[in-house]
Structure 1
Amino acid sequence: MPDETVLVVNSGSSSLKYELRDATSGLRLGRGIVSRIGHDGTSLRYQVTGSEPIERPLPGASYAEAIAAMFGRFDEAGARLDGLVGAGHRVVHGGTEFSAPVVVDDDVLARIDALSSLAPLHNPVAVECIRLMKERDPQLPQVAVFDTAFHATLPWEAYSFAIPQDLAAEHQMRRYGFHGTSVEYVTGRTAALLGIPLAEINLIVCHLGNGASITAVEGGRSVDTSMGFTPLSGLVMGTRAGDFDASAVMFLQDSVGMTTAEVATLLERRSGLLGLTGDSDMAVVRDRAERGDEDALAALRLVAYRIRQYIGAYLATVPGVHAVVFTAGIGENDADLRQEVCGPLGHLGLEIDPERNTARVPDEGIVVGGGPIRVAVVPTDEEAEIAHHTVALVRTGSPARPGAATDHPEAKEHV
């Protein structure tokens, strides 16, 4: 066990994921998750490097009990928690308040809490977990790393809504973008993979998981992204509708009689792949399509079509794109989707090598298309990015430079 470690915490609406990393190399030492917090069947699953995973029930555990169990499991495993330099927390929404990671004091915590209306399922939980950890160890620095921060560089024309600007300003209504920590990591990793300086790299990054977004990157900085005021807009996702006419929302309320809450549930939890096919898991939908299921085949066409639309738009936005990059669970593992997206875009300079596209993706990534605009698959590691920002802030008072987490190839090692 190294002398100095950093804890990475990702609190969800009913879960607590965490990792312990070497503070110098970024190497993952252990990780765990407490699932179904506040519900029946709460459990903790933890794995130390080189060991088999351990699962234990935590019936009806709260977040306080989940954090206590997390630290208790570290103690059992002999982890050197006395060497912790800090804890880095994924915080979904930083609003216009936070454009970079920050060490959390009472004022910062209150400001994050005040943004809860912009991310009601996530920010309150992050605030609670940070507060609980500050109470447990007041001397341990707590660092907030925001999903929205990487997109703080969006130009006005990319983030603005064409509504009265006094209304937009009063209620902080604008495009924020999400998945920024992942896109920041992947941007740095792709620059290294292609041998292009980070400050010169131009990319279209497709973060495709159950939640999905596309980001246009120019000179290593985000200049447009598909998610907006919330994570609902943009691509077809597991349960989210993606782009949807606002007038249709009013129709559902006025003519169908749905409440605001019912429309929100429809668009966020009952749409996307789930609404199209009855299944939200892309692997299940893919399997159904391979067996000739018409609903699944149609859904996959729509998913690929929407991705191509955004790629085309961002090719028009960013001059001299070096590569289209696929990342996250679906982006990294669904070779068929990559072919379905890029195959029809040969006239725009994208080519896919079928053999390379189906090859194993190494941790550092792989180029699967060598046309004028390369196609790459680059595994993401948001926890590495959070860990490096945390260590940099604690040691120097400043966040890590963009892409710093990619300096250590071993940081991608899995337990």
Structure 2
Amino acid sequence: MNKLPLIIKREYLAKVRNRSFIVMTILSPLLFVGMAALVFFLTKANNDDVKVIAVLNEGQFFEDSFRNTAALSYVSFEGMPLEIAKDSARHEAYYGLLYIPDGADIEQVTGNVEFFCRESPGIGILSAMEGVISNKIREVKLRDFGVPDQVMRELGSGYRINVENFSGEKKLRGINEIKAIIGGAFGYLIMMFIIIYGAFVMRSVIEEKTSRIIEVIISSVKPFQLMLGKIIGTSLAGITQFLIWTVSAGVLGMILAGVLGISTDELGPHTVSPEAAEAVNGMSDGIRENLQPYIAELLKISWGWLLFSFIVYFVLGYLIYSSIYAAIGAAVDNETDTQQFMFPVITPLMLAIYVGFFSVFNNPHGPIAVAFSLFPLTSPIVMLMRLPGGIGEGGVPVWQFITSVVLLVATFLFIVWIAARIYRVGILMYGKKPGYKEIYRWLRYS
């Protein structure tokens, strides 16, 4: 193994000194921040387009019920005949006309409400108007039964069961889902890194194979050493580029936000019903009070341990898949021939994302979640979804975490060994498109 550091250094320097590597390292953060700024401007421009809706209310139930929001503006057409109101709304370029007929009964009135427009309206616009009407129906019916306004407001609050463990500690509903989303974000980052940078190793092997340089190198280095060195060296180059992207994109993003004056308020949704906005304003103290337990629970997460676990699974997961990519590169002559092998490689990653979310959300300690968090090809993603729940009592058992890491290390060494056996035969095979049976025969060569 005394030649391994030299191979790693050679592969690393060959990548970071490559002109395309340098150009992409510089341009990618600029493109990413520029695209984010473009999305922001397009979203803002879309939200600034206020929809003006004419309201023809012939009855008394909905007087002053429709109030302007940041996305919707209402204009009263009171006293107009319906046909004239429709003609005015069409010619004056209103988004639509909401017609509310007269009637003695709220159900009769709402059953004949109609909305006239040129095109099919968005679901957010319809939901805003339907929310006003639904609340009014509920309010009128409760008032007809003699229910006081205070009682009606109390009826709007939902009932929730208090949840505690057997030790008396209170548990929050939905906290497992929130923690799974946090872990899933880390897992998704690993998947994207593997897909993007795993191909680096494959291309490096293909380039050396087609240039015939490998025939000289293999005469003085064992295939296992060469394969391991290429995987580690290329992986370090990819990690270097990724870290540069992350830091520079973050710095550029903060600079851009400061220059443009982008605030978090501008990034939120604007299309809300007046009742929803009023409810939020009136219940702001209650909302803050309800959020405090969730914030406290998230602060209890061992973020240092979670970051350490992310690095461990990030490195081991990438090494395993880059070994598979290297084996594919050794078996083919060009990237076109790699397509038949790519789907089996990507499938475990996609399976980990979807099965992980469904299983960890519902039961983070169930058999499916545990099995996928131990299986080496899916554990870097699924285990990270479970780890925000803690490790040890009440969280991921210590033995499962250790077993998962050991299996990852063993799988990496095993795949490198398999890749080296494919490598020693495949690097000398030219002009032939191998299949799975052919590769299996290469593995059996002594």
TM over 0.5: no
- TM-score, structure 1 normalization: 0.22
Task: Name the structure with the higher helix share.
Answer: 2
- TM-score, structure 2 normalization: 0.21
Which has the greater radius of gyration? Answer: 2
* Structure with more relative contact order (C-alpha pairs < 8 Å, separation 6 or more): 2
Task: Name the structure with the higher strand share.
Answer: 1
